[in-house]
Amino acid sequence: MKIPPLIAILGRPNVGKSTLFNRLLSRKEAIVEDRPGVTRDRHYSQGTYGRKSFRLVDTGGILFGDDHPLGDSIRKQALFALEEADAIIYVMDGREGYLPVDADVIGRIRRSGKPAVFAVNKVDTVKTEEVLSEFHRHGVDPLVGISAAHGRNVDAILDAFMDLMPDTLETYPVDPGIRFSDASESDIQEWLKRRISDPPRVAVIGRPNVGKSTLINRLLGEERLVTSPIPGTTRDAIDTLVTYRNRNYHFVDTAGLRKKGKVAEASELYAQIRTDRAICESEIAVVLLSAEDGLTDGDLRIIRQVIDHRRGLILAWNKWDILPEEDVRSSPPFRDVRERYPFLAFAPMFGCSALTGFHVSQLFQHINTVREWYFTRIPTSELNALILPLVESSPPPRLKNHPVRIFYVTQVQIAPSVIMVFVNRPEGISLQYRQFLSRKIREKYAFTGVPFLLKIQAKSRRDRDSSEK
């Protein structure tokens, strides 16, 4: 199986790299905003061109002014991408013309010996040759005039790399949980085998500046993500494959989530939307918390977002190393959390330091445990043996003087898990009674880190009548 070539898009800030990235992929992946320096990290994705397949990487700008606090980091990321890439697209601005910095970078690209196309963007008029003539005079070749915003001539870029691309590989996204009623037993087993053999997909999320990128860099052992003490540095969701003890883990580092009302920049808002999608596409979310700050309202909103999506949940307390030793011994932060927020009792918690590596390896143990429960299927006979005797001894309250009967319980879906309770009158099952049933299920089946959904379903009148005879 041939791996599709990795094509890197390089260029100065605000020349249209992210717009071209999106145009080549035909979807909005990289953050686009008419302001220099918006694309900060290298951003990878896979695309197709006809029956051919390729991978694309969008980078931060090659050069920034001295007043940009992240300039050195972003420039280093771009040059690092150049080293990793199989082919290069260098984007220049047709309105600004050919600049000395272009000559410097074009020289680097030519010395690398890698296939390259030099694209002059923002060529929106019929005077294409007039615009390109200046670049031709400086010996830039092969040269393509494009308009990334309007899609003009962008196919010519990919045409240059056709020989590098294999036929399109069939890929599938993280598919939704399987409902047992919609599939045969053999299909279920085949689905489970395929999903479990794939690397666990883990979204690393949290408030700005809690150390998400530092954690991924610690796990990966290289500076793949821009790290900085400036809140909100990681803006796009970036995928990273980490190998630990001969097992692969697929991590997604995401932009720091902010309360929607506080998001001022368009790029920050879009990053927040991307983070939500990262949760949906993952199996497990690691919510990184600050041991120094404790659990904040912002943290709780993010945790609720994970629970609402029914993804596996792990709470990692970062910056553990800066806490006074006596405080850690006397009152660990998550001991109070379990007491104050009992609805989080199902989620594993641990302290670590992404900066020093303290206890970071524990994360993999928790991921393995949560993922095992995420794909756990409890037999219907066992669930009914547990629940029906409880209902006999502690039945739900009557509804308008009518009995509320629970007929049977069954797990109808995994990944995420859904347990269905069939009753005669769903409106008679209160929130408190639902929590009672959930608690009893967890007492026998821990579902560690898995916020399963307990759904109340009305049984058909015909089934009710037959069961009551």
Annotated ligand binding at 409? The verdict is no
Query: Residue 97, annotated ligand binder?
Result: no
191 is in an annotated binding site: no
Instruction: Consult the annotation and say whether 253 binds a ligand.
Output: yes
Contacts of 255-262 with C-beta under 8 Å, sequence gap 24+, read 255/208, 256/206, 256/207, 256/208, 256/209, 256/210, 256/212, 256/231, 256/232, 257/205, 257/206, 257/207, 257/208, 257/298, 257/301, 257/302, 257/305, 258/207, 258/208, 258/232, 258/298, 259/298, 259/301
318 assigned binding-site residue? yes
210 carries a ligand binding annotation: yes
Tell whether residue 211 is among the known ligand binding residues. yes
421 is in an annotated binding site: no
434 burial class (0-12, 13-18, 19+ CB within 10 angstroms)? middle
Are 431 and 402 within 8 A, CB to CB? no
Any binding-site annotation on 128?
A: no
Asked whether residue 123 is marked as a ligand-binding residue, the answer is yes
370 is annotated as contributing to ligand binding: no
Q: How far does Cα 267 stand from its chain's mean position?
A: 17
8-state DSSP, 147: B
Is residue 397 a known part of a binding site?
no
Residue 60 annotated as part of some ligand binding site: yes
Q: Is 62 annotated as a binding residue?
A: yes
| Cα–Cα distance measured from residue 41 to residue 238, given in angstroms and rounded to the nearest whole number | 8
Q: Is 261 labelled a binding residue?
A: no
Rounded to an integer, what distance in angstroms lies between the CA atom of residue 123 and that of residue 146? Answer: 6
Q: Is 198 annotated as a binding residue?
A: no
Classify residue 111 by burial, with Cβ atoms within 10 Å: 0-12, 13-18, 19+. Answer: exposed
- Asked whether residue 206 is marked as a ligand-binding residue, the answer is yes
- Residue 412 marked as a ligand binder: no
Is 354 labelled as part of a ligand binding site?
A: no
Residue 212 among known ligand-binding residues: yes
Q: How far is CA 167 from CA 2, 52, 63, in A?
A: 9, 4, 36
Binding residue per annotation — 181? Answer: no
Is 113 assigned to a binding site? no
- Judge whether 321 is annotated as a binding position: yes
Asked if residue 37 belongs to a known ligand binding site, the reply is: no
Residue 225 in marked binding region: no
- The answer to whether 193 and 276 have CB atoms below 8 angstroms apart is no
User: Annotation-wise, does 255 bind a ligand?
Assistant: yes
209 labeled binding residue: yes
Is 232 marked as a binding-site residue?
A: no
Strand order in the sheet with 52-58: 43-49, 52-58, 6-11, 87-93, 116-121, 143-145
For 35, counting Cβ atoms within 10 Å of its Cβ (0-12 exposed, 13-18 middle, 19+ buried), the class is exposed
The answer to the question of whether 351 is labelled as a binding residue is no
Question: Does the annotation list 86 as a binding residue?
Answer: no
121 annotated among ligand-binding-site residues: yes
User: Annotation-wise, does 320 bind a ligand?
Assistant: yes
256 is in an annotated binding site: yes
Contact 354, 316 (CB under 8 A): no
Task: Consult the annotation and say whether 67 binds a ligand.
Answer: no
> Which residues line the annotated binding site?
11-18, 58-62, 121-124, 206-213, 253-257, 318-321
Which residue ranges make up the annotated binding site for GTP? Answer: 11-18, 58-62, 121-124, 206-213, 253-257, 318-321
